[in-house]
Amino acid sequence: MTLIDRLHRGVTTRSAAETRTVAAELSALLPADSALALHGDLGVGKTTFVQGLARGFGIDAEVTSPTFTIYTLYRSSSGGPPGFTLVHLDAYRLDSAAQMEGLLLDDFLTTPYCLAVEWPDKIAGWLPEGAWHLDLALGASGSHSLRLRPALGL
């Protein structure tokens, strides 16, 4: 079964490292210029997942939760696609899609890129239509779960 099929059924991870590995593997399967909406409550592993994406895209910089910024841009340095940008957006402090206008984020979504969004429901109307939606949750006895929603139109 492919990773995408497994993610549609739901994948359980037992450590942050395992979540990063799943994310790194997924990074290779994402279409060009994709958007990935990471749904789930505090501490379910959204930022951890973005760390794995970054590793998969050949980004050496450490990915952290943006505390004072809403988004962070990471350029791949080692072996990733040339000129590639990972855009990590944390919408937690935003209240509406309208607030996205002022951030001028569109200017940074130049090909090739991947946009990863934490708290996507805060800016639901702004997300690209083709965004992939991943639900993250805490499972039993310390595990975490990842599940990819069916693509729209399927």
- Decide if 23 contacts 53 (C-beta within 8 A): yes
Say whether residue 51 binds Mg ion (CB under 5 A).
no
- C-alpha 115/C-alpha 32 separation (Å) is 10
Site string for Mg ion, 125-144 (x = CB under 5 A): --------------------
Residues from 97 through 116 that contact ligand ATP (CB under 6 A):
none
Compute the distance between CA of residue 63 and CA of residue 125 in angstroms, rounded to an integer: 26
Query: Residue 39 or 46: which CB sits closer to Mg ion?
Result: 46
Under the binding rule (CB under 6 A), the answer on residue 144 touching ligand ATP is: yes
- Give the C-alpha separation, 137 to 40, whole Å: 6
Residue 131 and residue 150: Cα distance in Å, rounded? Answer: 11
Cα–Cα dist 44/46, whole Å: 6
Question: To the nearest whole angstrom, how small is the minimum distance from the Cβ of residue 139 to ligand ATP?
Answer: 8
Closest approach, Cβ 143 to ligand ATP, in A, equals: 6
Nearest residue by C-beta to ligand ATP? 45
If the CB atoms of residues 89 and 100 are measured against ligand ATP, the closer one turns out to be: 89
Say which residue the tokens 């499972």 belong to: 139
HSE, side-chain direction, 13 A CA sphere, residue 25: 13
Determine if 45 is a binding residue for ligand ATP (CB under 6 A): yes
Among 29, 65, 79, 101, binds ligand ATP (CB under 6 A): 65
Residues that bind ligand ATP (CB under 6 A): 13-16, 18-19, 40, 42-48, 65, 118, 144
